[in-house]
Amino acid sequence: MLKTGVVKALGTMSGTSLDGVDAAVITTDGVDIMGFGPTDYRPYSTDERAVVRAALGRWQADDVAEPARIVEDAHIAVMSGFGPVDLAGFHGQTLAHDPGGRGTHQCGDGQRIADALGVPVVWDFRSADVAAGGQGAPLAPFYHFALARYIAATAPVVFLNLGGVGNLTWVDPACAAPELPGALLAFDTGPANAPINDLMQARRGQSHDKDGLLAASGVADATIVAEFLAHPYFSKPVPKSLDRDAFTDLGAMVAGLSDADAAATLACAVAAAVAAGLGHCPSRPARVLVTGGGRKNPVIMAQLAARLPCRVDPVEVAGLDGDMLEAQAFAYLAVRSARGMPISAPAITGVNAPMTGGHVSVPVSFKM
């Protein structure tokens, strides 16, 4: 189905921040990155975001028909704007994530996407890992390993993604392959943009704290941050993962603060969680490269620089695109999945052995 060698793959990501759909093309053989192609973004409207947000925590497909259609339509709209590709990766929208319990639920039908685009689509990336006893997250670390090689890193480096939830990948680029012991360690660090976005929506009717302006005008409550760090998640062994709403009590903790002080406290909590997480890494990284929307919040970035024992930069400093890195990751993982290559491993999801995952949907036009 997928030709051998280097292919052009389109990947998408609709993250837990619920802002919209990122889409990006890369060229790869599933091992190395040969180049980056065009990108695009399709935001959710206010009404769309409200419908999807209301579905968070739901597990049954028949309960989420409307949000699933919104997610699919948004993906089809943005993915249709690209030229010919060999394969696409569709992550879907995570509504619930409970590894070791009910499983993981990303809404959206990859078959409908494949039929609309006329190309094979890989989707449902996380379920196989969860079924095998893994956390099902994070999955971008295999791509982070390829990126470390692409930027010619010679010492361990950390990729820190600050989306709705924060996740960290420690990479040793000297290892021969990402699935080998010692190559990677990855886990969710804690809440990132989600509590800040929820605060902004609830108090000001805004989707996020643009440029961190509100947080910058406030003063963080150190007592609340310390109480937050006492949560048992931070002492839990790695690898580990979180649902978007795993720290809903954080909103209650800042309920008595002014808007500005609450935003400042939540931004400080993001960095404090990352600093706690860095202590789990096998060795101190030479640098931390930050991707995701959180890198655009100067308060979060300043707090990271103050709390971490190494250089902290947005990934753009290394010539990468922090807005599209996760979409690129699912293009890369789509190629690996279609070729039966591992996309998860014990050190990133806790699964017993390296394994592939994902489901490939072939367009109905291919079957005629």
Residue 318's nearest CA partner among 150, 128, 103 is 150
- Measured distance CA(123)–CA(107) in Å, rounded: 10
- Measured distance CA(196)–CA(29) in Å, rounded: 38
CATH fold for domain 7-135+324-367:
Nucleotidyltransferase; domain 5 (3.30.420)
Rounded to an integer, the average pLDDT of 304-321 is 97
Predicted TM-score (pTM) of the model is 0.92
Does residue 139 surpass a pLDDT of 60?
yes
Q: What is the CATH architecture of 152-318? A: 2-Layer Sandwich (3.30)
Instruction: Dump pLDDT digits (tens) for 188-203.
Output: 899 999 899 999 999 9
Instruction: Dump pLDDT digits (tens) for 15-39.
Output: 877 889 999 999 999 999 999 999 9
Q: What is the pLDDT of residue 347?
A: 94
Does residue 1 surpass a pLDDT of 70?
no
Q: 187, 316 in Cβ contact below 8 A?
A: no
- Measured distance CA(87)–CA(117) in Å, rounded: 10
Does residue 297 surpass a pLDDT of 60?
yes
- 299-302 contacts, C-beta under 8 A, 24 or more apart: 299/212, 299/215, 299/216, 299/263, 299/264, 299/267, 299/268, 300/162, 300/212, 300/215, 300/267, 300/270, 300/271
| Both structure tokens of 162 | 């600050």
Q: What is the pLDDT of residue 71?
A: 96
Sign of CA dihedral 189, 220, 308, 208: positive
Does residue 62 surpass a pLDDT of 80?
no
Residue 92's nearest CA partner among 290, 303, 334, 292 is 334
* Ranges for all domains in the chain classified under CATH 3.30.420.40: 7-135+324-367, 152-318
- Measured distance CA(238)–CA(214) in Å, rounded: 33
For 321, counting Cβ atoms within 10 Å of its Cβ (0-12 exposed, 13-18 middle, 19+ buried), the class is middle
- Measured distance CA(306)–CA(313) in Å, rounded: 12
Give the DSSP per-residue string, 120-185: -EEE--SHHHHHTTS-----THHHHHHHHHHTT--S-EEEEEESSEEEEEEE-TTSS-TTSTTSEE
- Measured distance CA(15)–CA(20) in Å, rounded: 8
Q: What is the pLDDT of residue 15?
A: 81
Residue 332's nearest CA partner among 7, 56, 1 is 7
- The DSSP letter of residue 82 is S
Q: What is the pLDDT of residue 96?
A: 84
Between the alpha carbon of residue 57 and those of residues 71, 90, 202, 207, the distances in Å are: 16, 20, 19, 20
- Measured distance CA(358)–CA(343) in Å, rounded: 9
Does residue 275 surpass a pLDDT of 80?
yes
Instruction: Dump pLDDT digits (tens) for 209-243.
Output: 999 999 999 999 999 999 999 999 999 999 888 77
Name the percent of the chain lying above pLDDT 90.
Answer: 83
Does residue 368 surpass a pLDDT of 60?
no
- Measured distance CA(225)–CA(281) in Å, rounded: 22
Q: What is the pLDDT of residue 249?
A: 87
Under the banding of pLDDT at 50, 70 and 90, the label for residue 76 is very high
Instruction: Dump pLDDT digits (tens) for 334-367.
Output: 999 999 999 999 999 999 999 999 999 999 887 6
Residues, the chain, total? 368
166 has which bridge partners? 162, 190
